[in-house]
Structure 1
Amino acid sequence: MALFQNRYLIIDCGNRYIKGLLVQEGLGARTILRAEMLPAVTRADRNPDAENEEEAARDDYEYNLVRFIQSFFPEEASYVLALPLSEAYVRDIEIPVVHPVQALEILPNEVENKVPISLEDAEVIGEYWKSDEENSHFISYTAPLNAIQDAVDPLIRSGGNVRMLTVPTAALASAIQMLPEHLYLGKILGQAEIGYQDTLINILDSGAVCFTRSIPFGLHALLEEIQEVTGFELEKTESLLKDLELDVSESKSGGYNEAVLAMYRLNKEDAKKIIRKTKDFYREIGSEIERTLISAPVPSPDSIYISGGGATLPGCDDFLETNLGIPVNLYPLQLETDNIAPWVMSLGMMEHFARKQKERIDFLSTPFGMTLRRGEIRLTAFSTPLYIASAGLVVLLIGFIFGIVSDRQRLQDFRAQAQQEAQRIVPGYKPGPMSAVQAVQKVCQERLAMAQTRYGGFRSLDILKEISDKTPGRGELGNLKVKVLHYREDQVDLGLELEKSTQIAQVQQALRESKMFSAVTESRSDELPGQKVRVRFTINLANDSATSGVNCN
């Protein structure tokens, strides 16, 4: 499991469908865990007697938002949202200040006279595009305070934490940055998000929005036209358009699935009318894109990318490309869904959220928006303690490493000294399998044995004489024979052959009377033919003052 995981739910509240991406970030990796889609329900479906349209719209938004979360992601509490462009005012602003940071500070003053709302009741944020010799160019977004609060309030009331509230324009522009850089840097590109009620058109210069336009014309208009032909309800008309697999390509022969006509009780004349109305719809979309390109302050784009529900029909990119004379492409992105087009806005929101906070278009970064971040823990409040703790940890690690290096150096010095002493004590010593300490111990033991034999301690002859003196004579024991005499350090192993087994205790008691021996124990006795017996005594020597202070360990 990755440490410090950042998990959040991206929610794109469209007019027809609500889409969500559950994203997890950790240790530099970003993973889309789930992608879910749910049809939106209007208040008219639930309450046909509703009168206040504004109240109904808010009620629809809250109902669908909560229903979507409870249906698919009830355990999540961190969200990323987009404020509909119908709730914001978008303006192209030129400020007579070249430096963009200074221009951004006076942006609200420039916007105030261009929006039908007092800035006391609204928040303004801007996205920098470019600077020329005299002016800085911005795209400004102005949203009423009540619209910002209404967007996040359903989630905050339920204990959720809204991490970002951006706008569709910025989210769609960020989707371009998911492509390889050579496809958008240094180029003019167009974007068309063909939604259910609206079509959003962006013109980008090196990935930055330089012109944007929202048109109240979307896939719903096409469905209404097809309804006039079929007489079906809206949902059935939408299913028909999907099942028909209508290909509207212009550069190649299109077609449709004729087997579907019988299923929906339609004939070929109906199919021809549907094809004509579908092409008229995309022809109108192409005209709106062309009008936008004429109004844009930049040359015609190198290519246009389309997305949204209106970009799911086969061949629509080819149809628009033929009519506009400009390359039109679907986004070369991947997601575990049938079609990437409806998910581009959600992916763009994810990419926009990945930016640094100062680079985002986020109404929750405004003074009013900051008051709505109730559930968020901001690490900036702990920055000073974290810096101090980090510095202390670094000092501790440095001291620990220095101590290891110092100890290793001292150990090497001690080993060098030990080798010098070993060479002084043991002539010709060289480091090898035997360490310096082991070589010195060996010499010590040899010299100690020599000292015990020659210069003090118990010599073998002394021990043999003591045994002879303490052992009873022939008059008491008869024919006694010494069979074994082993002497090692402070212990003697004595083997005798006696005439009778009753003499064992007599010999043992006699030897115990010696001051040279600290203990005499019988270790073994064996009977021999003729009532003779062979006995083994273990004799421990008493401490010798001449060598008791010597220790070779």
Structure 2
Amino acid sequence: MNLFARKSDVLIAVDISSAAVKLVELGKVRGGFELKSMAIVPLPRDVIVENEIIDSMTVTQALIDAVRIASPSSRNVAFAVSGNALIIKTVNMPPMSELDLEAAIEFEADQHIPYDMEDVYLDFQILGMTEDGSEMEVVLVACKRDVIEAYQQVIQEAGLTVKCVDCAVFALENGAEILLDKVMPDSVADPDEEAASSKVYALANIGANFTNINIMHGGQMAFARDQFFGGNQLTQEIQEAHGISFQAAEQMKLDNFAGIDANAIENYFTALADELVRTLDFYAVRHADFPVRNLFLSGGGALVPGTAEQISQRLGIDTNVLNPFPEIKASPKKFSADYLEHMGPMMLVPVGLALRGFDK
């Protein structure tokens, strides 16, 4: 799904979050895809706050640095938006053609989006028919124009050209698709259409401040939302428990996890599980007959030791961490196996964005 897009043969993915700028370029090769270039440039705290760019010069410089490090072959960019700047609603509408829906969508969105329609970009995706076949389920997506334009500006100032704008939660789905056959269990990636239609799994990309969640049913998106919760909550728990600065707490999280106060870790995992349960409960309101059976984690938050095990235990759902790179060819001269193994879970959204360049 694109909020707006112009087709391009080669797209580099740019994922700008509050914690880092990530860049990925993929190429098409026989049997799949190849990692051509990649870069991750950390951002100082408070440069981006709740998706608002506070210090555009720092973000632009991080983009310039990412391009210098990666040396991508293209300057055409796909980037994603998420969080509180984005509104995702699933609504029921009378059956109609996609052309008719395009004409009706603004009126429908006006009933659900708490902004003036002139101030947002709108998009939609038809999910399918309701269980009784009387209506269509449609996902409405709206993003504030000023947010998109602010991101476009820093990208353009870095010498890049925006060709595609996506939602992080949908790029997450796109990136996970290349893993279905190899990573996901047979009960989920079932080749039998009837069997697959009853399988439900969730994707959760845990970033620094936001978690993108996408629930898939029978190979189609059934529910999506962004939650204001991420790895920074653990950093704040560490900061409070140890009486240290945010920066020192972040470093402790990375370098001395075993030394962290046990209550801080427990509080974080409890809060993370509560946020995920809240999303599953929202999903269950519409889809009580199709409970989520599997949960797949990505993002920097998925790298916190014990996350998959803790969430599986607390939710009673089989939980695993996704890494796209075992399914993407990469030159060992450019990218070490250890580096890709460590960074992979953080890169699922930009990988999904990069794949947009190969959409038919």
Q: TM-score, normalised by structure 1?
A: 0.53
**Structure-to-structure mapping, 1:206-245, within 5 angstroms:** 206-244=218-256
- 1:36/1:72 contact within 8 Å kept: yes
**Residue 251 (structure 1) aligns with:** none
**Residue 332 (structure 2) aligns with:** none
**Structure-to-structure mapping, 1:441-452, within 5 angstroms:** none
Matches of 2:265 and 2:127, distance apart in 1:
36
Matches of 2:227 and 2:324, distance apart in 1:
25
For structure 1, the 5+ residue unaligned runs are 46-52, 247-255, 262-270, 357-553
- 1:176/1:207 contact within 8 Å kept: no
Cα offset for 1:160? 2.8
Cα offset for 1:320? 0.7
Cα offset for 1:353? 4.0
Of Structure 1 and Structure 2, the greater strand share is in 2
The question of 1:170 aligning with 2:170 is answered yes
- 2:60/2:157 contact within 8 Å kept: no
Matches of 1:152 and 1:243, distance apart in 2:
35
The question of 1:22 aligning with 2:9 is answered no
- 1:8/1:24 contact within 8 Å kept: no
Matches of 2:157 and 2:60, distance apart in 1:
11
Matches of 1:310 and 1:54, distance apart in 2:
21
Matches of 2:28 and 2:55, distance apart in 1:
34
Matches of 2:307 and 2:52, distance apart in 1:
35
**Residue 280 (structure 1) aligns with:** 267
Q: Deviations over 1:48-99 (max 9, x none)?
A: xxxxx96725555444334433454487522221123332222112112254
Matches of 2:43 and 2:164, distance apart in 1:
22
Percent identity for Structure 1 against Structure 2: 18
The question of 1:341 aligning with 2:348 is answered no
- 2:37/2:72 contact within 8 Å kept: no
**Structure-to-structure mapping, 1:346-365, within 5 angstroms:** 346-356=350-360
Aligned pair partner of 2:210 in 166, 187, 198: 198
Cα offset for 1:169? 1.3
For structure 2, the 5+ residue unaligned runs are 1-7, 190-195, 327-336
Matches of 1:312 and 1:149, distance apart in 2:
32
The count of residues paired between Structure 1 and Structure 2 equals 320
Cα offset for 1:325? 0.7
Cα offset for 1:44? 6.6
- 2:241/2:264 contact within 8 Å kept: no
CA 1:109–1:60 in 2, change beyond 3 Å: closer, same or farther?
A: farther
Aligned pair partner of 1:302 in 285, 289, 293: 293
Matches of 1:129 and 1:58, distance apart in 2:
37
CA 1:177–1:54 in 2, change beyond 3 Å: closer, same or farther?
A: closer
Matches of 2:306 and 2:69, distance apart in 1:
34
Cα offset for 1:301? 0.9
CA 1:332–1:221 in 2, change beyond 3 Å: closer, same or farther?
A: closer
**Residue 112 (structure 2) aligns with:** 114
Whose radius of gyration is greater, 1 or 2? 1
Matches of 1:167 and 1:44, distance apart in 2:
21
**Structure-to-structure mapping, 1:417-456, within 5 angstroms:** none
Matches of 2:146 and 2:9, distance apart in 1:
29
**Structure-to-structure mapping, 1:36-435, within 5 angstroms:** 36-42=39-45, 56=54, 58=56, 61-70=59-68, 72-73=70-71, 76-132=74-130, 133-157=133-157, 159-181=159-181, 183-184=188-189, 185-186=196-197, 187-244=199-256, 246=257, 256=258, 271=260, 274-296=261-283, 297-298=286-287, 299-331=290-322, 333-334=324-325, 336=337, 337-339=340-342, 340-356=344-360
